[in-house]
Amino acid sequence: MSLPVPVRLNYGPMRMRLYETAPTLEVSSGLLDGDLCGIYDAARDVIIIDRRMTYTRKRCTLVHELVHRAHGDIGHQRELRCRLQTALLLVDRDAYIQAERMYEGDRWLIADELDLTVDVIDDYRLLLRYEGVGR
């Protein structure tokens, strides 16, 4: 899967790069209801990111919403697919293995080390379980 920005960028530079690489896309900040972190409105080609989050969570959420956009999802269609693809894009396998060993599997410390959310780490671990089943 290809996104219009490198996912290794921090949140601010990622948003700035989108002005060049996806000029029809509008990314804005707002106050979203409940525990909603971000939304993608396909009809208007708009992503809204909740402004109350950390920059790490904003970055992970922006990539998640860009995956929805890449698939042309309406609302939160195929959420599991989106979460797993987001984890695959954001987690560097070698860095994950090193962090897993260094922090003896502590998902919070691993997420902090990799500058990702615990949700992304949990989704990556789910991918690893699927991978193990297929062997």
Summarised one tens digit per residue, pLDDT across range 38-90 is 999 999 999 999 999 999 999 999 999 999 999 998 877 789 999 999 999 99
How much is the average pLDDT of 3-12?
Answer: 95
The set of residues, in sequence order, having a beta carbon less than 8 Å from that of 86 and lying 6+ positions away, is: 60, 63, 64, 67, 120, 123
18 lies in the same domain as 63: yes
Is the predicted pLDDT of residue 135 greater than 60, yes or no? Answer: no
3 belongs to a structural domain: no
Helix (H, G, I), strand (E, B) or coil at 29: strand
Q: Using a cut of 0.75, tell me whether the model's pTM lies above it.
A: yes
Cα angle value 36/6/66 (rounded, 5°) = 30
CA distance 116 to 135: 28
Residue 103 and residue 63 share a domain: no
CATH of the domain at 33: 3.30.2010.10
* Mean of per-residue pLDDT scores for the chain: 93
Q: Do 50 and 37 touch, CB atoms closer than 8 A?
A: yes
Give the domain extent around 58: 11-75
Q: What mean pLDDT is predicted for residues 9-29?
A: 96
Cα-to-chain-centroid distance, residue 92: 13
Q: Establish if 37 belongs to a structural domain.
A: yes
Distance CA 119, CA 102 (A): 19
Q: Does one domain contain both 98 and 69?
A: no
> Of all residues in the chain, what percent carry a pLDDT higher than 90?
87
CB 48 within 8 A of CB 57: no
Tell me, yes or no, whether 105 and 62 share the same domain: no
- Residue that wins the pLDDT comparison between 2 and 104: 104
Please state the domain count of the chain. Answer: 2
